[in-house]
Structure 1
Amino acid sequence: MSNICIPIDARLSRRTLITAAGATLAAPWIGAHAQGKIAGGKPITLVVSYPPGGGADLMARTIAPRLEAALGQTVVVENKAGASGQLAAGHVARAAADGSVLLLDASSFAVTPSLFPKLPYNASTAFTPLAVLATFPNVLVCTPSFEAKSVKDVIRLAKARPLDYASSGNGSAQHLAGALFEQRTGVTLTHVAYRGGGPAMNDVMGGQVPLFFANVASSLGHIKAGKLRPLAVTSTLRARSLPDVPTMAEAGVSGYEVLEWNPILGPAGMAADVKATLVAAIRKALEDAEVLGRIRQLGGDVFADASQQSAGKFIAAQQALWAKVIKERGITTG
């Protein structure tokens, strides 16, 4: 077979044609790939409404790397604490609805509208609910030497005289848990507000105040050490970390459920395809074994609806529940 010589100009022309053809064929794929990215592929900021080290921050830093992997783009956690979550929420409410700025909040998101009527945003209309990551029950604990051995004992004693219960502050989850307990049982409790959950729990362990609706994760070690005695968990199902502790319903208080939870929301007006992409990425992140293990280690469970279709309804129901309790019990932040 004889060698065929191709002139240099012809070889260059052929190479140019091949390159151009390849670029033309690749263009639709590149365009489609870019369109699949949130906000054109720029970094996504996950704004956390509380300081570093808290529950919401922990959830954000647990899930952010998994969201990065699922979306194929950078996810940055930014703490914007202050004004009971209003600073972070207001910032996200004003952001572009392209999915580049998201809010990771706590269950206080459902409480704030009733405690602060003049918010810089409308909590019901300013956001696109994307997901509820996990739910965490509280647990009613008492001083080990306290005479009540069950929730029924607490109710009996409280009907004879008001009992004190501690909380981390006015309008806190612990305060509202006590208010709902009063509403469901018809008893009167005396609320003792502290500056934070730590001091409140210390005084309950020390016997200064008998009762506390504690966070499971922060109280578990003290319960196991015998420094606190659990009476009931505030969820409708028993906590994995406290399998021998009854629920409030099992203890005789029907219609009682208090959960702490972490939602992810975007600004209102988010396009359907952007929302669907983000929800799918969050669902994938929640399926990660390390994420699931961390949530359970903290005493919680992944949100019961894996599809997240009911996340918005759950948030709205929580807002309605606490609005009613706050109004009926006359709860304020003062």
Structure 2
Amino acid sequence: MKTTVLGAVLAASLVPAIAAAQYPDRPISLVVPYAPGGTADALARVVAQELGKKLNQSVVVENKSGASGIIGESYVARAKADGYTLLYDATPLAINPAVNTLNFDPAADLHPLTMVSVTPNILVVPKNSTLNSVEDVVRQAKADPGSLTFASGGTGTVQFMAGELFRQGWKIDMLHVPFKSGGPAIMATVGGQVNMMFTNISSTLPMVKNDQLKVLTITSKKRSDLLPDVPTVAESGLSGYEAYEWNGIFVPKDTPEEISDKLEASIREVMAEPKIKEKFSSLGADVVASSQAEFKTFLDKEFAKWSDVVGKSNIKKNK
């Protein structure tokens, strides 16, 4: 009887290992918690196609948009931890806990696999604006507090947070003008209804090239090859300033380590392919392809940074 029981225990313990060894044996769902057509969705589809080839299995992008990504994030956080439901998310994941009351904990309920890429924002002003540099913005804001306006796609968006981080760093007073989404905010900036906007480089670069908008600075640590003459915020005098729209891939917590490791390795191999790097670069994104540990360290800093920004502002947490 002891031998039978021991055999049964050993057999049961081998089930996860066998499942991991056979993984994946059916299609994988890559959940994007934003609407189709956006930058995150476009990049996710590039990754999904190549990852499917690498794993010899279909990787299907599934859009579950709404509530700044919370609907899709919550869906994956509650999904079975078997490696068949992945989350392709972005910076709002790290902002949401600071501005919304959630029914899950992003830091605890989702396991980071790899940070895929980072995309900097650029500070743009209308073509005919008298503002030509960060120095001009700071000078005017200090001379006439509250006279300058900055647009965003809404409180809690990366666009708003980049502007708020900028405002707090320089200790200046600017008026935030929220719109229902980023598109109307950009058009209001083009039309001069607002003074400026921090916006994703990939979505706004065509307007810059067409001379509809003027760029004052970029939010990355170093200058972009797409705009080599545009200085960073740090170069302009605000040391340590960085704000990105990052993309990363997650699985539910308790996903077997063997599966997480296989996914991480496969995704990093995909991101190392020259054609993938070229595609991401064309959209203004810099490939990172971090390890799980590196992504976790980055996320801890992101959660803390945006929580601090919200804490220093007068933002009221949504219930």
After TM superposition, the score normalised by the length of structure 2 is 0.90
Change (3 A) 1:70 1:276: same
Helix, strand or coil at the partner of 1:263: strand
Change (3 A) 1:126 1:150: same
**Residue 61 of structure 1: aligned partner:** 45
C-alpha displacement of 1:44: 0.8
**Residue 103 of structure 1: aligned partner:** 87
Change (3 A) 1:42 1:183: same
Helix, strand or coil at the partner of 2:198: strand
C-alpha displacement of 1:98: 1.2
The equivalent position to 1:187 in structure 2, one of 172, 178, 183, is 172
**Residue 128 of structure 1: aligned partner:** 111
Matched, 1:312 2:296: yes
**Matches for 1:1-334 after TM superposition, within 5 Å:** 35-39=20-24, 41-117=25-101, 119-161=102-144, 162=146, 163-303=148-288, 306-332=290-316
Change (3 A) 1:327 1:217: same
Structure 2 residue identity aligned to 1:234:
T
Where in structure 1 do 4 or more consecutive aligned residues deviate above 6 Å? none
**Alpha-carbon deviations, 1:117-155, whole Å to 9, x = none?**
2x1211111011101110000001111222222101110
- RMSD (Å), alpha carbons: 1.7
Instruction: Work out the CA distance in 2 between the residues paired with 1:234 and 1:187.
Output: 18
Instruction: Work out the CA distance in 2 between the residues paired with 1:160 and 1:267.
Output: 50
Q: Is residue 20–residue 258 contact of structure 2 (8 Å, CA) maintained in 1?
A: no
Instruction: Work out the CA distance in 2 between the residues paired with 1:37 and 1:133.
Output: 25
**Alpha-carbon deviations, 1:83-137, whole Å to 9, x = none?**
22121111111111111111111110000111112x1211111011101110000
Structure 2 residue identity aligned to 1:277:
K
Instruction: Work out the CA distance in 1 between the residues paired with 2:317 and 2:40.
Output: 21
Instruction: Work out the CA distance in 1 between the residues paired with 2:224 and 2:245.
Output: 13
Q: Is residue 170–residue 332 contact of structure 1 (8 Å, CA) maintained in 2?
A: no
Instruction: Work out the CA distance in 2 between the residues paired with 1:95 and 1:33.
Output: 21
After TM superposition, the score normalised by the length of structure 1 is 0.86
Instruction: Work out the CA distance in 2 between the residues paired with 1:47 and 1:174.
Output: 23
Instruction: Work out the CA distance in 1 between the residues paired with 2:311 and 2:250.
Output: 26
Rg (Cα) greater in structure: 1
Structure 2 residue identity aligned to 1:292:
K
Q: Is residue 34–residue 64 contact of structure 2 (8 Å, CA) maintained in 1?
A: yes
Helix, strand or coil at the partner of 2:263: helix
Q: Is residue 171–residue 333 contact of structure 1 (8 Å, CA) maintained in 2?
A: no
Residues matched between the structures, number: 300
Structure 2 residue identity aligned to 1:134:
S
